[in-house]
Chains A and B, each alone.
Chain A
Amino acid sequence: MPCKILEKERLIPGQTSKLVIDAPHIAKKALPGNFVILRVCEKGERIPLTIADADPERGTITIVYLVMGKSTALLETLDAGDSILDLCGPLGKATHIEKAGTVICVGGGTGIAAMHHIAKGHHKAGNHVVAVIGARSKDLLLFYDELSSFCPEVLVSTDDGSFGHKGLVTDLLRQRLETDKTVSEVVAVGPVPMMAAVAKTTEPFGVKTTVSLNSIMVDGIGMCGACRVSVGGETRFACVDGPEFDGHKVDFNELRQRLAAFKPQEKASYDHHCKCTCAGEK
C-alpha cells in the first residue's frame, strides 16, 4: 500500500535528503537497526534503506538517502504530499542493545542517519553514548544537531578540517580507546572502507565492534541470498541474519566486490533514466 511523504528536507541539496513518511504499521514495530525495502514506481526496483528514526505515536518513520543511481534519483523527484508506491518493513534483526556502560557510535556519510537510530536506542537503555561522526567537509555533515540533543559527546572529523578534527573518524576513535578503558562496544555505520577501518582500529583494543552492512538486496526477506556476506568464514544473509555483524569477523573485501556487482547496469539504468527524463517522458 502506498505511503505518503509528510516532510522532506534536502540535507545536502541534490545529494542527500530526509523523508518523514506516514507508515504507522512500520513505526509501531521499528527498532534501531531495522531497515525498509521500498519501490518508488511501478517499474522500479526494490531498494533497502535503513530507518533513521521512528515515532510510533505519530505513526511515522524517517529515512535518509544518498542520490547515487536511478532509484534514488527517482525518489529525489518526490516531495511532501507524494507517496512511495511500496514500503515494506521493518526488516532485519534489531540492534542488540543492553545497558553496558559507554558505547561509541561511529557514523560516516549517510550512515550517520542510520547510526542515529542506534545511538538513540543505546541512550534510552541508559548507556553513555559517544557519537563520532565524519564527513568530507562541514557542509556534508549530517544529523549533528539531532545527535547533540541526546549524546553527551559528539566528536566530529572532517577531511578538510572545516569542522572538528581534520582527518578521519578512526583518529578520534583510536584516541578515545587509548584513554578510555570503559568503552564496552563500538558500533559503526557508513561506507565499507570506513567500517573496515573502524574494525581494524578497535581490534587491538579487543572491544566488541558491530557494523551494519549495506549489501545488495532484492527481496530483503530472506529469499534470494543476494545479500550474503562471509562472517567468520560462514555465509550469512544480511537481510535476516543481520544487517549487523561482528566487525572483526566480516570479510570486507568480499563485501566490497559484491557491492560492485551491478555497477555497469546501474550506470546504464541511470543514463537511460536521464535520457528519458530529458526527452520529456518518464
Chain B
Amino acid sequence: MTAEVSELRELRASVREFLEAKSPEEAVRKLMESEPRFDLDVWAQAADQLRLPGLAIPEEYGGDGFGPVELGVVMEEMGRALLCSPFFATVVLAAQALLASGDSDACARHLPGIASGRTTATLAVAEDSGSWDPALISARAVPDGDGGWRLNGRKCFVIDGTTADLILVVARTVAGPSFFAVDRTAPGVTAVAMETLDATRAMARLTFDSVAATPVGAEGSGGRIMARVLDMASVGLAAEQAGGARRCLEMSAEYARTRHQFGRPIGSFQAVKHKCADMLVQVELAEASAREAARLADEGAADFPVAAAVAHACCSRAYMFAAMENIQVHGGIGFTWEHPAHLYFRRAKSSQLLFGGPAVYHERLLDRLGI
C-alpha cells in the first residue's frame, strides 16, 4: 500500500511537527549522555499518537501496512532531527529481518509488540571487525538436545544493544548462517555499552554464553535474509542520511544569507556560494536516489537491489560532504561543541561506515550489477 502524494506530505508535516516539539537540539544533547539513550515518553507518544513503529508493518501483524516509501519519509525526518530513538534498530533492522525471514510464527510472536511500540528490538550481525559479511561470522548456535538451541559468541556494534527487548542474532550452524531470536534478559546475555563516535546512536557489545535461542526462518537461510535486510536497511539509512544532509544544507544557506563579513553577506562570495551549490547538488541526488529506491522496493521491482546500493553509496557520500562543508561555511563557530554541526558530522561519518563503508558498498553495487 502506498499513500498518495498529499498523504505523504501530511505524514511528513505531522512527523516534523512532532519532532520539532519532542526532539529539539537540547533534548538530543541531554539524551546522548543518558541511559537509556532515548526518551521513553517520547517513544510511547510516537507509538500511540503517530503510530510510527507500526507504520510499515503488515496489518495482519498489528501494523498499518504502509511500505518503504512512507518509512522513508519518517526516516528523513528523524535524520533531520537527529532523533535519539530505538526506531532504526527496531523497525528498520529487526522488523525487516523478521519479515524477510518468511517465518510467520516468529512474525506473529514479535511483530505485534513492535508495531504497538511495546517491544524494542535490534539486529546483532557484526563482530569485532564490524563486517556484515556472513562468511566472517563466528558466533555459533548448536542444538541443546531438548529441541532447543544454545548460542555462544560475541557481537559488536549492536544498535540499542543494552536496551532492546528482543535481539535477532545471526549465528553459524552446520547448515550455515542462521537467524535466532534471543530475549535480552535471558541468562547468559551480557550487554556492555560501547563508546561511540556518534553519541546519538547507542551501540553495545553483547556476549552470549550458552544462551537459549529460538530459530527464525529456515536453518542456513541467514545469508539470504541478510542480503534482503541489508537492502531494506540501507534504503532506510539512506533516507535518514538524506534528511540529515538536507538539514546541513539549510543551516549553511541560512548562515550564508545572514552572516556578514567584509561588509556583505558571506553567501555573496562566490567561493561560499559554490560550496552551498555543491551541497545542494549532493542533497538533490541523495533525496532522488533514496526516494527512488524506496519506490522500487514498494513495487517489488527487480532492480530494487541495484537502486538500494546506489542510494546507500550516494546518500553516505552526500551526508558526509554536507556535514563537512557545513562546518566550513560556519567557520570557527562550526567547530565548537555548542554548535550542532558536529552532531551531524558524527552521525554522517558513523552512518557512512555502519554497514562496512565505501569499499564494501561499492563492491556490493558492482556485484548487484553483475560486474
A-B complex is real: no
List residues of chain A with CB under 8 Å of any chain B CB: none
List residues of chain B with CB under 8 Å of any chain A CB: none
